[in-house]
Structure 1
Amino acid sequence: MTVLLYVLGVLFVALGVGLSIGLHEIGHLVPAKKFGVKVTQYMVGFGPTLWSTRRGETEYGIKAIPLGGYIRMIGMFPPRPGDAEGTIRVSSTGRLSQLADEARQLSLEEIEPGDEDRVFYKLSVPKKVVIMMGGPVMNLVIAVVLLTGLVTLYGQQEVKDGAVVASVSECVVPASQAATKTTCAPSDPKTPAFLAGIQPGDKIVSVAGQPIKRTVDVGKLIRPRVGEQVPIVVVRDGAEQTLQVTPIRNTVQQVGPDGTPLVNADGEPVVMDAGFVGVSSAPVTALERQSVAVVPGILGEQVQHIAGVLLHIPQRMTDVAQAAFGSEARDPNGPVSVVGVGRMAGEISSGSIDGLDTAAKFATLVSLLAGLNVALFVFNLIPLLPLDGGHVAGALWEGLKRNAARLLKRPDPGHVDVAKALPVAYAVSSVLIVMSLLLMYADVVKPVKLG
């Protein structure tokens, strides 16, 4: 049963990824046809064609490698300045020039009689931008729809007043040994919390008569009371209980104003002598349905996180390589491939993550797809060919040059020859392939673990 659930989770995300790619390309296809551009192919995937059908002038199909998709528009690259439309010189020298000329020639060969005004390069700048932004915007719309459904129908975890006991230490261990000592010896003294009967899951209402608003309040009230008997009111199974605890003096790790444990420049815990009872606390959360007003904030946080990953992608990929070929752990907030996303989906659906009921599993899978679409949106905005952002940058550069020429009363500079940037596109494509292979390998040998 667990294996079946794992497979179902993988298939759910695989279908979601396929639909996301297909809708991304529809985001390009619809405005292209609306503006009169001839679209000869609409394909989901790359490589050999598994299935296709022709509707009018467009072939629709699915290819073998589900790592993307494309639509094929005629006339993506304009003739070189001085060349008659539909012709090309064959005397270019240098490999880079030849690459551009070959791509330009292939683009022009697709133009049949009557198609001369249905080419992409003749469109106005705004229309080019709309077509190329249609794909990323579609991914953004998918993410908004999924997130809206999640927060309005399922809900979102909201932090409430109080704190909940996350764990109870059985024996007294100095902070310097807490990370390495996992078992208690018979001679180790028991912690005050263990002796008082505090249990994981208890909600801490008050300490020494003072109400608990945040988790950091627990430490603030316990640490100054060495040797004092302190009443701690907890809620267990819906009923309040008052437990008497006497903090002992111990070496404990300091925490910041927000409750985050402090470490020094070497990553070692910053410690102090203070009252200690042996509990770690977590915020009290409750699942509550939200209004659509919270969606922009959630979306903004996800966009900011993914943009941060992309801005530091060289370091992130170095970390992935060190984890894949060394002993370092994977960063749970780092990049993953479709293989990693599939593994996460399998873990979620199969019950490998504790505390998730059926509804929570489905909601987590939907959230995973929403995050994937946000990533596709941000990634495709990178202003480098062959990504959509590269074509948008070319169109904007064309508009800037033409407006500047108009203001300076100079001749129209004509269309920007995007074909000249093809060497960059090939280089970017090569880097993306290497990155994808590295991430896939890392997701097999050392995957990111959830929970």
Structure 2
Amino acid sequence: MMFVLGILIFFVGILISVAWHELGHFVTARWFGIKVPEFMVGFGKTIWSVKRGETEYGLKAIPLGGYIRMIGMIPPAPGETLGRSRRSGPFQGMIDDVRAQSQLDVRPEDAHRQFYLRAPWKRIVVMAAGPIMNLILAVVLFAILLMGIGQFNGTTTVSAVSECVLPADSTTQTCPVGAPPTPAALAGFRAGDEIVALNGQPFERFGGDDLRAAIQRSSGPITVTVLRDGQRLDLAATPISNLVSSVDDPSTLVQGSFLGIGLVSDYERLGLGAVFVEIGDVVGRTGQAIAELPSRVPSLFGSVFLGEERDVDGPIGIVGVSRIGGEVLAQEIPFVAEASLLLMLLASVNISLFLFNLLPIPPLDGGQIFPAAWEAVKKRIWKLRGKPDPGPVDVARLMPVAYVVAMVFIVWSGLLLVADVINPVRLFQ
């Protein structure tokens, strides 16, 4: 039941993210006087809609994105009236049809409200507003996660004291006969002690990783200052050499000094600066993942048709990431941990939407931003050279590229859908 609920909650979160993206386009388009007949979440057949003013708002059957329809996205051919142009070429018929279809939305009274008539910078603002809304939402989600809930970090408070010395790879917690007591047990450490200094070096409450590293690097007798029942005590101990978990990678065992204490982990609330550091880190990793998408195709194909193991770090579709949301909610972990994971996932999805839509290829938002930017540069150059305004860039000629990209996207989405259903990524085994 919790698994299904998690899927539904995360799926709704994705739909809200899509609607939020389209709201950015919608609001800025209306600010600049562009007519917007449709505001839709999803594609395909309309399953619900309502008309308010001149705009129809609705949900469509295939929840793989959304769109707003602005009139006059495609300008008329330069120097030609509407209809078939005199130009020829393998794609000219397609270009003419797209241009004519765009003009069908334009009523005589709305001729001045067309998208292409707006200044290039206004068109750039309208098209960039959608991805920027996703970035804003990601910042808000990370702020809630890091500033409100906090980051799960190790503290310097002792959670438990091991009674005897066991290797880090030991499968039992029971002390065998003759096992020597740990240095911490001999020194008199107790659960609940807050370590405030090691050999005089102070440690903050959330300096658990630094403290563990200092203990592992130590040699010979050490003096550990603890706070117990409001009193500071100095405990003398002599760590021994043993296999211990690496601070940098807990799954790796290294040789180091062993004291025999466990440390409590808790949520540390961070400042605004940490939010932007995290955003930068996620943007970098997501950008790299997008650049590597073509190289991921063979492994995705193998996971669908050849029974190969799914790459946990590979691409995941809407169904897959929603399923992970269900897995999170189904785990027997504290609610705050579930909320943290869901917020992290949804924030990462919005970063992906932000970056992906800025790619300068149609039909993505960047496919309109780039021509508008080039038009602004072109107008400036023509003006400096004393030439007349060259007019809008003929984006209709990019439509063949848009159709090819759309077909690739459909095939890719279908492949991801099948992979997410028959061979899903599992974060929890």
- Give the unaligned 5+ runs of structure 2: none
Separation (CA, whole Å) in 1 of partners of 2:146 and 2:62: 34
Counterparts of 1:167-186 in structure 2, within 5 Å, are: 172=167
User: Counterparts in 2 of 1:36-435, with a 5 A limit?
Assistant: 36-84=33-81, 86-89=82-85, 92-94=88-90, 96-152=91-147, 154-157=148-151, 159=153, 162=156, 172=167, 215=209, 218=212, 221-222=215-216, 247=240, 259-260=247-248, 274=255, 284-288=265-269, 290-323=270-303, 325-328=306-309, 330-332=311-313, 334-350=314-330, 352=331, 354=333, 356-357=334-335, 359-435=336-412
Q: Is 1:6 matched with 2:27?
A: no
Write the letter of the residue equivalent to 2:16.
L
Aligned residue identity for 2:379: R
Q: Secondary structure at the match of 1:111?
A: coil
Give the direction of change, closer, same or farther, for the CA distance of 1:418–1:279 in structure 2 (3 Å limit).
Answer: farther
The runs of 4+ residues in structure 1 deviating greater than 6 Å are 163-170, 181-184, 186-192, 194-212, 228-246, 250-253, 278-283
| Aligned alpha-carbon RMSD (Å) | 4.3
Q: CA deviation at 1:378?
A: 1.7
Contact 2:159–2:263 (8 Å) recurs in 1: yes
Offset at residue 396 of structure 1 (A): 0.4
Q: Which runs of 5+ in 1 are unaligned?
A: 264-268
Inter-partner Cα distance in structure 2 for 1:8 and 1:78: 46
| 3-state DSSP of counterpart to 2:113 | coil
State the distance in 1 between where 2:227 and 2:413 align.
49
Residue 124 of structure 1 deviates from its aligned partner by: 0.7
Would you say the 8 A contact 2:72–2:115 is kept in 1? yes
CA gap of 1:398–1:363, structure 2 versus 1, over 3 A, is same
243 and 327 in structure 1: CA distance in 2 versus 1, 3 angstrom threshold = farther
Look up the match of 2:16. 19
Look up the SS of the partner of 1:115 in the other structure.
Answer: helix
Contact 2:312 2:427 in 1 (8 A): no
TM-score where L is the length of structure 1: 0.75
Give the direction of change, closer, same or farther, for the CA distance of 1:195–1:327 in structure 2 (3 Å limit): farther
Could you tell me which residue of structure 2 aligns to residue 441 of structure 1?
418
Identify which range, 361-370 or 213-222, moves more after superposition.
Answer: 213-222
Q: For residues 209-254 of structure 1, what are the alpha-carbon distances to aligned partners after superposition, in whole Å with 9 as ceiling and x for unaligned? A: 98775546646655776xx898989999999997978735x7889x
Asked if the contact 1:347–1:353 (Cα under 8 Å) also holds between the matched residues in 2, the reply is: no
Which amino acid letter does the alignment assign opposite residue 260 of structure 1? Answer: D
Count of aligned pairs between the two proteins = 420
TM-score, with length taken from structure 2: 0.79
Q: Rate the CA distance shift 1:224–1:425 in 2: closer, same or farther, 3 A.
A: same
Q: For residues 53-106 of structure 1, what are the alpha-carbon distances to aligned partners after superposition, in whole Å with 9 as ceiling and x for unaligned?
A: 33333322211001111111222111222203x344266331x22222221121
* Residues 256-278 of structure 1, C-alpha deviations (whole Å, 9 max, x = no match): xxx43599xxxxx897xx55759
Output the amino acid matched with 2:248: T
- Larger deviation, residues 131-140 vs 312-321: 312-321
Structure 2 residue identity aligned to 1:9: G
Q: Percent identity?
A: 37
Q: Is the 8 A contact 1:29 1:39 kept in 2?
A: yes
Measure the CA separation in 1 of the matches of 2:378 and 2:262.
60
**Cα displacement (A) at 1:368:** 2.8
